[in-house]
Structure 1
Amino acid sequence: MQKHFLLSLLLLTGVTSPRAQVQPVHKDKPYLQDLSIKYYADTTQSSLQQVAADRNGIIQMLAKEGLRHTAAGQFLYPGKVVPDRNYRYMKDKNISNLVSYENQLVYLTDQVVFSNAWAGTLFSKHNLPKASLLAGGKDFTFLVSDGASLELIKDSKSLWNGKLADDAVIGLAFQGNANQFWILGSKSLYKLGVQDKKLTKVLTGSNFTAFSLASKETKIYIGTNDGYLVVDITSGKTLFDIQRKLPASNITAVKEVDGKVWFGSDMGAFALRADGKFDYYFGERWLPGNTVLDIEKGPKNSVLVLTTKGLGQIQFKSMTLEEKAKLFDQQVRLRHIRNGFNSQLTGLNHGDLSTGYTEDSDNDGLWTSMYLGGQIFRYAATKDPDALQNCRESMDAMERLYTVNPVAGFPARSYERAGHINELHDVERWQHSPEKEWDWKSTTSSDEVIGHIFAFGAAAELIDDPKIKKQAIMLIDTLMSHIVKNNMYLIDFDGKPTMWGKWHPDYVNAFPTNVGDRKLNSSNIIAMLQTAYHFTKKEKYKAKAFELMNKHGYYENMMRSMSIIGMAPADADEHAKHMSDGWNHSDDEMYFLGYWGLYRYAFNDTLKASYKKQIIDHWQAERPEKEGAWNIFTAITGTKDFDLNESVWYLQEHPMDLIDWVIKNSHRKDIEKLEPNFRKQTTKEVLPPDERPIQRHNGNMFSLDRSGGNGSGEHSAGDIWLLPYWMGRYLGIITGPQK
């Protein structure tokens, strides 16, 4: 009794909170956003070999069957690789190599080196009928090879010819600052001076596959079938041991493009970053196929990655976060709005967006709440009338969840036009609505409810439209009256509590103290009751909250550290064991959505200070995930430590392509894997969002692979990206675009 009395005094006494710390702010300056345009080849008609581009932006490919170029193609709408008929008289040429020389396309045949540039005046004969390799030097000097012999030519004159000692030629490159050619063999590296015509062996090795000059022609990167080497051009010595800790070690192509070294492999492409790590481009998010044949510089700050199945043009566009937000807003409005809900596009035929349909979800209310939250923050930050209209439409969709079913105060999971039940055969969840021609989905979950209260609270506080404000407060009161009236349960059409809509102490405190649901449900219901009291001022909500915290230990439940959360003890019941078999990322989502109302609408400053400790304790556990949303939610407490840089990293690194392509990372040798653990953290460091499967915030950010259903659906940016971005804008930790 004394303990509860003292706690009541503590909870009912307001104290002055310390002055908010000055928070760091990200200035939204342009960064380079990567995205891919894919061009698929008919592999029965084109056996691709090389790619090059010229100063006009023309991209051309060489196949065994002749020249090819690109047709159509834009981001998310792939083009094709088709025969190039532009210079129709070239079809009789036996072209064996294609290069970009002085930003023009130059060709090698069994007789000559020629081009259509320079008014067609380049026409230099050689003496290697089986020539297949070509590199250009200064003043239209070219080195050609048939794999066995080498010939240096200029203006149809043979300046030098020779062979490698006991090796086959597989690559040629020119070093301009020394006026010399480099020749790669399968087991050796040579150089040839243009002036002295001296062929010199520089390095002996094995299993060489491709090479490129780099670092302002001071280094040579040599790919092998098991890693790569770096050679110092001046000394001719390798700078370190062969590098094998790579995304893929069977190197098929090497090319420096705009100061960055790119590698092709039989498992995608990757680029070496300044920090020694790699940006990995695997799967059809980026490339038509994963077996890379060639890599070259492309038009307009792009990289051309030629694969056996077509061409991937990876573009790097200067963009601010606000510009990215505008593109994602278009994505949502064009393809992801269903009856006002924020929905997934599914049923795609291999990523073809025209073939999909928006699908109802068990969590329509939750995903829409998160999208709605983002639009509320967008409106609060910008007063954009489009954002306000988006809020109106989503609020109406949310309100109808309560009116489409006959249970007072009960929100449906979703609703759809009649006939949907027969299609899905899910008669346990789908019920007929009193509204003619409509059905509604029952068994609503607690994650729906906390999402509703989060969005309604934000709308009631931040939107200055009287109708929306009134609507939001009404819905808060409607839902919470249902829960309080029904003894802290969410009661379905059958008169029974839903599986997860339970906040009564008999349910909550039945979990052992280290099982997450005990802490989660306590935190969520107090947040919901606080929100209801804040906007309605009805004492029943405040009284119930203090009853749960004082009499039933919910305050103590909430304040337990995340560090104790783990598997249920051996003597726990089966439900507790099932609910604690690993870290539940859906719980994280529910916690952080609840933190808005928990902290923002705290009954007093004493509680607010305690809640801040609770939120930061949880955030500390989440930090390895670099989860942009959870970092930004943590910033509501005013703390200056919420990993702003990692939040911006999440937003900038998130792919523009949100289609569910097959993703593989588990084979990589450049990531440090961990033993299986309770948190299901697979690697020491989380991969960037554009290298891992597309996931909502309730997914495990350490998931490495996604298999099956390649290109079968597209996620909405509404909850995944727009919510954290606009929340950051509203909180002032991300600025508008800076010049």
Structure 2
Amino acid sequence: MKHSHFKSLILLGLILGIVRLQAQNLPAYSKKVHLDHSFVQEFSVKYLVGDEEKGFKKAFADRNGTVQVLSENGLLRTHAGAFLYPGKLIQDRTYLPMKDKAIKNITLVDEQFVYLDDKAVFSNAWAGSLYLPHQLPEARLFAQGDGFNFLVSDGKQLHLIGEEGLLWKGSVNGSAILDIKYDNVRKVFYLLSSESVRSFNLDKRSIETLTSGNEFTCFELRSGKELLAIGTQDGFFEWDLTEGRVVGEKNKALPWPELTEITEINGMLWFGSQMGAFMLREDGKFNYYFGKRWLPGEKVIHISQKNENEVLIMTDQGIGKLVFDTFTLEEKAAYYDQQVRQRHIRHGFNASLVGMEEGNVNSGRLGDSDNDGLWTSMYLGGEAFRYAVTGSAAALQNVRESLDAMERLYTINPVAGFPSRSYERSGYIERLSDPERWQHATDPEWDWKATTSSDEAIGHVFVFGVIAELVEDEAIRAKAVRLLDELMEHIVENDWYLIDYDGQPTTWGRWNPEYVNGFPTMVGDRKLNSSNIVAMLQTAYHFTGKELYKQKAFELMENHGYLENLMRPMEGIGKAQEGSDEWAAMLSESWNHSDDEMYFLGYWGLYRYAFNEELKEKYKIAIMDHWEAERPEKEGLWNIFSAMVSPENFDLEEAIWYLQEYPLDLINWTVKNSHRKDIELMEENFRRQSTREVLPPDELQIRRHNANRFGLDGGRNGTQENSAGDIWLLPYWMGRYLDVISSPVNE
């Protein structure tokens, strides 16, 4: 489990996840099943400021949950703020006389705010009775010792003060003090400078150097571990206080080694840097919080714990409050369902919210897409699985509405059995940047998008088959079968092409043997198109019973080598040999991850509706061969599809990891990871696998299933929110339908 830093949730993380069950009525194999226990789901609530409010220093929350921020302009507090709806940092006027105080620092004592100004250490807690003059007009650092004793410093001079007054004073030579920590076991204060860590012994009233170096920036006393964690401009190391030596070697393999802050929360080290925050996990790897999904700014200034399940990360642009909540997968699905229905349904299509301003989901518009039919097929499939599992009336209505949208793709254009890419009202289309694809419908109110691709076709066939098999409503089922039949009639009658309004094949809607077998065997489209069209014909035959579809499928497999094509191992797919035509060379420059999406959507009909058991066994070999090639991506949907074929041998753990780690925030923020020092980069390769191990989904940009999960950088700067309908709800509800994910388990 990724988020193990809250002790109250560690045990929960250990018991959740992957359990292999041998049910009484199952076959001889051991079917993998995930028991849906609660897991830790994190998200961020951000608090922003205007240009005039900068110079942040620290942020703490007291025992009442009140957050105070110390800035160069005085004390600030948080206002409003919720997930996806940023709050603000505003002037704190709670205690109006505080405005006249020249506050230089703030800390917590017994979960109460305590302040340092140019005259004293004081607080508004304890009935305001705490007021300890320190006699250092330039004081800027302080730390609590035992009781109400404090060590105060201006960077050079040190004054130990208490309720009895000034208890001791001294000074340090060399570089200025940057921070002070107190060790209540050894009764010493630790003093950090850029060149050393020194200790001030209360009993001896003496200062001595523990360790020297250069470019020290921050440090933390580790609770109960006899260690100091010392941050530098180039990583961190730990100092053993018992043995007086460095433990191991300096760790430079951090997401970013230029450290600004170290703090310990529930036994876990948290780091602030010039490029985001990160937490050191028990497995030695890091959770990385960088970019506006998590934080308002890049430079981290201060980190503190707010309560059991919240962490405040102050940046130069405001605060990101990380919230670690508990969800079951079903609860996460319910949240995503609400996200889709409230913001991502356009005429029944599963659509993206585009044209947003800085992540403001209320400022966007529903955008059309070349792949409206594909994205909607995937969402629609998820809702059909949901209906089959739960019998939900809402899921059935969602199926009905989105299937209506799919049907209109066929009826809004004049070509029989030809699915449009999309449609929209005419006045809107005139303002689009791609008007040549749009054609006027007979109804002057509407335009439709042409040039439909094979991506659309395989998506349609996939979901028509799912609906026909699983949805009991006869009218809905009949509509799905009719549309399936119309599409396949069009393809068969037009010699294995999608024929557009102009009478010409579309660029990508081509399954004709001359086209398919024109590619060298290593070009992926030869295998892909063969696999897809056989799956499409099998699905059509299964639900219509028309012998023509079965006959044509066997003709392609036996007379044109389509079975051999689709059975070709993935290791044989690569770049076209020198001398191949430009089209083959272009299609094989690198692995196309859209092809993966088309393959796996096709596998539903290829395997499930196989003509006979002999073919089914062959298809299983091809599908699992593809799955083996895809395993490094830990792609949730591909793993769930593989459960259909091999429920005893698929990456259930990785599928659940994908579902749990996908961020609740589906805004397409810009993310960067290529600068990280904690990842192992790989040489350029055909599959474009950039790192040895794929990063968690919440550290990457939002990606649909047709994208490379090894892409390290990218995004749209908060101008778009993706729908969970295709990204998350399809793999989850398919997993529920295939019984590899359980319903929620009572804790």
Query: Normalised by the size of structure 2, how large is the TM-score?
Result: 0.95
Does 2:622 match 1:590?
no
Which of the residues 735, 739, 742 maps onto 1:732? 739
Which of these residues, 362, 381, 389, is aligned with residue 370 of structure 2? 362
Give the corresponding residue for 2:423: 415
Q: Secondary structure at the match of 2:375?
A: helix
Matched, 1:673 2:681: yes
Residue 9 of structure 1: aligned partner: none
In structure 1, how many angstroms separate the alpha carbons of the residues matched to 2:384 and 2:98?
60
Alpha-carbon separation, structure 2, partners of 1:49 and 1:101:
18
Paired AA for residue 305 in structure 2: K
Contact 1:531-1:601 within 8 A present in 2 as well? yes
Give 3-state SS (helix, strand or coil) of 2:45's partner. strand
Distance 1:508 1:607 in 2: 21
Residue correspondence of structure 1 range 179-194 to structure 2 within 5 A: 179-194=187-202
**Pair 1:719 & 2:737 matched:** no
Give 1:177 shift: 3.2
Counterpart residue identity of residue 447, structure 1: D
Once the two structures are TM-superposed, the CA of residue 548 in structure 1 deviates from its matched residue by 0.5
Q: CA deviation at 1:156?
A: 4.9
For residues 384-435 of structure 1, what are the alpha-carbon distances to aligned partners after superposition, in whole Å with 9 as ceiling and x for unaligned?
2111111111111111111111111110000001123321253431111123
- Point out where structure 2 has 5 or more consecutive residues left out of the alignment: 1-25
Q: 1:240 aligns with which of 232, 248, 253?
A: 248
Tell me how far apart the structure 2 counterparts of residues 391 and 658 of structure 1 sit (CA, whole Å).
23
Q: Determine if the alignment matches structure 1 residue 317 to structure 2 residue 328.
A: no
Given candidates 525, 535, 544, the residue that maps to 2:533 is 525
Partner of 1:353, secondary structure, is: coil
SS in 2 for 1:69: strand
TM-score w.r.t. the length of structure 1 is 0.96
- Whole-angstrom distance in 1 between the partners of 2:735 and 2:244: 51
Moved segments of 4+, more than 6 Å = none
Amino acid in the other structure paired with 1:681: Q
Q: Structure 1 pair 568/193, CA: closer, same or farther in 2 (3 Å)? A: same
Hey, what's the Cα distance between the residues in 1 that align with 2:649 and 2:186? 51
Aligned residues: 721
Map Cα deviations across residues 170-212 of structure 1 (whole Å, 9 max, x no partner): 1111223333322212111122334443433211111110111
Q: CA deviation at 1:163?
A: 2.4
1:603-641, Cα deviation, whole Å (9 max, x unpaired): 111111111111100000001111111111111013422
Q: Structure 1 residues 646-655 or 443-452, which shifts more?
A: 646-655
Query: Paired residue for 1:258?
Result: 266
- Does the 8 Å contact 1:301/1:316 carry over to 2? yes
Unmatched tracts of structure 1, length 5 or more: 1-17
Report the equivalent of 1:542. Answer: 550
1:643-664 Cα shifts (integer Å, max 9, x gaps): 1111111111111111121211
Q: Give yes or no for contact 2:538–2:611 (8 Å, CA) kept in 1.
A: yes
Q: Does 1:643 align with 2:651?
A: yes
Residue aligned with 1:221, SS: strand
The yes-or-no answer on 1:349 pairing with 2:361 is: no
From the superposition, tell whether residues 217 and 195 of structure 1 become closer, same or farther in structure 2 (CA, over 3 Å): farther
Q: Contact (CA 8 Å) 1:175, 1:217: kept in 2 or not?
A: no
> For the Cα contact (< 8 Å) 2:156–2:173, is it kept in 1?
no
Post-superposition Cα deviations, 1:86-137, rounded to whole Å, max 9, x if no partner, equal 1111111111001122111111111111111122121122121111112123
Cα deviation digits, residues 216-264 of structure 1 (max 9, x gap): 3422111111111111222231112211111111101111112211111
Residues of 2 paired with 1:156 and 1:467: CA distance? 86
- Superposition pairs for residues 204-353 of structure 1, below 5 Å? 204-353=212-361
Q: Provide the rounded CA distance (Å) in 2 between the counterparts of 1:409 and 1:582.
A: 33
- Contact persistence 1:125–1:155 (CA under 8 A): no
Contact map agreement 2:54 2:316 (CA 8 A) in 1: no
Give the letter aligned to residue 738 of structure 2. Answer: L
Aligned match of 1:431 in 431, 439, 446? 439
Query: Structure 1 residue 385 and structure 2 residue 393: aligned?
Result: yes
**2:704 is the alignment partner of 1:696:** yes
Residue 671 of structure 2 corresponds to which residue in structure 1? 663
Alignment partners' CA distance in 1, 2:65 and 2:253:
35
Cα distance in 2 between the residues matched to 1:593 and 1:466: 24
Contact 1:125 1:156 (8 Å CA) reproduced:
no
Contact 1:626 1:647 in 2 (8 A): yes
Secondary structure of 1:76 counterpart? coil
Which segment is superposed worse, 418-427 or 279-288?
A: 418-427
1:372 is aligned with what amino acid? Answer: L
Q: Structure 1 CA distance, aligned partners of 2:28 and 2:399?
A: 30
Determine the C-alpha separation between the residues in 2 that align with 1:395 and 1:215. 58
Asked if 1:397 corresponds to 2:405, the answer is yes
- Paired letter, 1:663: V
Offset, 1:147:
0.7
Question: Corresponding residue for 2:20?
Answer: none
Please report how far the alpha carbon of residue 512 of structure 1 lies from its aligned counterpart in structure 2 after TM superposition.
Answer: 0.5
Query: Aligned letter for 1:39?
Result: Y
1:2-41 mapped onto 2 (5 Å cutoff):
21-41=29-49
1:470-497 C-alpha deviation (Å, 9 max, x unpaired): 1111111111111111111111111111
CA distance in 2, matches of 1:319, 1:142: 42
In structure 1, C-alpha distance between the alignment counterparts of 2:31 and 2:504, rounded to whole Å? 47
Output the amino acid matched with 2:186: A
Task: For 1:654, give the aligned amino acid.
Answer: Y
Structure 1 residue 535: Cα displacement: 0.6
Give the share of equivalent positions with the same residue, in percent: 56
Q: Please give the alpha-carbon distance, in whole angstroms, between the structure 2 residues aligned to 1:659 and 1:156.
A: 56
